[in-house]
Structure 1
Amino acid sequence: MALAVIITSIALGTAACGGSSSNDSDAANVSSDNEPAGQLSGPRIVVTYDGGVRVLERDTLKTVADFPMDGFLRVNKAGDERHVFVSTETKGFQLLDTGVEVESHGDHAHYLPDGKPELGKTFEAPEPGHVTVHDGKTVLWSDGAGTAQVLDTEDPTEVEETYKAPSPHHGVAVQLEDGLLVTEGTTDKRTGAKVVDDGRTIASSNQCPGVHGEATAGNGAAVIGCENGVLVFDQGEFTKIDSPDSYGRIGNQAGSPSSPIVLGDYKVDKDAELERPERITLIDTETKKLKTVDLGTSYSFRSLGRGAAGEAIILGTDGALHVLDAKNGSTLSTIKVVKPWMEPVDWKQPRPTLHVSGDTAWVTEPATSTVHVVNIPSGKVTDSVKLDVMPDELISG
């Protein structure tokens, strides 16, 4: 493990939208004459902490910009590799420009520094909830208003259309080829989902009590979690897949463009204040079958990720990344990253968090204010960087 590097805080102005940029010398060196000078290896990393959000350089995890913000904060992909959406307690979703220009060249892209990171437009959304990216659209869901704001992923700065549910609820919406998939329910009871297009309902199902969470598979199928299984939408219709237990809640999912299988969590204690599950689910959207796998360790809702080849990756409370073959659930590798930990009862409290992009995983360790970088194919921790703040959520642009 690399020697931890102490990151000093950047001097901040009084304006909340201010930020400081790293020098060009901090950027990754060019690797060939065909690549532009000063290019970065990929999108920047954004991390939340109690008091703000911080933009980090992908390779070094050096601070590029720091934005003081009040309240509990979350970060979500905008989908264009440049922006992220910050979920705030009082303003809704605020767009954060990480200051990276993305030049797409078919099978690869170049990433270039492009000005200072800055906070931008705020999209009003009482109780901001899930953000989804699919089919070229980014959708912002408001639990408090029951609205879905649909934006163009390539330019996530303007709302193209807005859907309003009959009743506000803790839900989610995702744009599919057939239409907009939206959950149904009220603040007291969530029941299912439907797909709407131009005001018409294409398909619907009320067989999903406690509906929560969403992921799309590589074949375009969408999976919605229920308290007794999942709903799968593909080829214009919903299919219910039941859990093996009468109460088998799947509320958090992770999809992969490389796999028809969706990774899900799995809880069986309906009355628990906080259940610490040790089984995960692998949901095959082609065979419409669900498989549970016993990890032998618990995990949290921030523990699920997918590898470049579609591997199912779970950060366990034993401190290790468990890399599984998504097809059969067999263990491909176990990578020790952080010290053993316990999930806090309060879901807003920091806990080790996993983010995966390609062959690289980033894992936070709040107890030591450290972010670890893991190369998944080699099974090695390649760097560990200590911040001067306690990291909570993190994501790449």
Structure 2
Amino acid sequence: MDFFKDTADFIAGSAANVHTHRPFLAIAASVALGLTLGSLWSAEKSHRTRTIASPLQSFQKPLSDKDKQSLVIPLDVLPGARDVSTPYGSIRVYEWGPEDGPKVLLVHGISTPCLSLGGLAHSLVDRGCRVLIFDLFGRGYSDAPADLPQDDRLFTTQILLALTSSPLSWTGASSGQFALVGYSLGGGIAAAFASHFPNLLSSLVLLAPSGLLRDSHISWQSRVLYAKGLIPEGVVSRLVKGRLKAGPLVKPKHSNGTSHDEKIGVEDALTEELTASPRQVLSRAYPSLTTPAAVAWQVENHQGFVPSFISSLRHGPVPQESQLENWKRLGSYLTQRREQKDTDNLPHDKVLIVLGETDNVIVKDDIVEDASAALEGNAQFKYFSIGHEFPSVKYDELAAQLVEFWN
């Protein structure tokens, strides 16, 4: 990031002019000490706070029609809204579609609320599915646990909490199981969940999933920024918030995604998830809503968003080194399941992995190689000729492909 280069230049310049700039250095040292103490105070305060409330808690209830219309993310942005009280904070859940339709659970990415998959959810309901979608902790209208890392264990728990809030049975013997679809960070979450609860699922679909990101692709700037303790937490939060407020960068797409020697950082993940399209309709009730607008609203209005974003990058199911065991466990299960069958392998016995051919974050060639090996060949791949943003742009075409795969 430019921050690191600017800091290095400042330090080098200050060392060369130490005799002429002592007063300025003293001021800089005082500022640095203040930031450090402020960070320590913030960290101590966060330990005393178990939950960071979502913007819902600041609303006066009941809301007037005028207040509802003024919200950037309306409370009825998607059908079937409910707020679920849990020991980890409230979770915003949406569920709609035919009660007797095939059940589909969608899990969204790191920087967006679940609205980003609203187009896909609507398209699946159009095809007869019962869809459940929820805001991950610290996004949209879900609270954020302040005293727990946002790792695959916490997200697995959140999935189970969202499912048990349904008036329908999603996990019982008569439920018919459900299809789990995860996008980006949600793909890593879905793979981890499936590795522990495969019997609950009718199928697993991963859209440009995290979880197998090679260590060699992560930039050193991102390592430093998100390595807890290297930089005061207050400084990290300010830098990340400023970057999130700046919105997506404009970067050229590679014909085959990121090259093998290119490093990726938080800017790439942010840029890819926030790519919008003029034809994009995420909410049919509010068709003008876009993903960038929703993320910008989160940055300014959800006090738990930036901490959740940072925690998800630090602890979430992103790098290969922390998630390979989960993928291998799932692969072993699928192999055993296939070997116990007398008939040929059925489509839902394989994990469907859908990738963008010009994705700057999830490298197509890498994920095909690594996922095939970890899942012991129990994977099927499909591609879109665009980047990481395909689930929120090509949602109708994607829904058709998913239904075809399930059938």
TM-score, normalisation: structure 1 = 0.25
Q: Select the structure with the greater relative contact order (CA < 8 A; seq sep ≥ 6).
A: 2
Q: Which is strand-richer, 1 or 2?
A: 1
Q: Which is helix-richer, 1 or 2?
A: 2
Larger Rg: 2
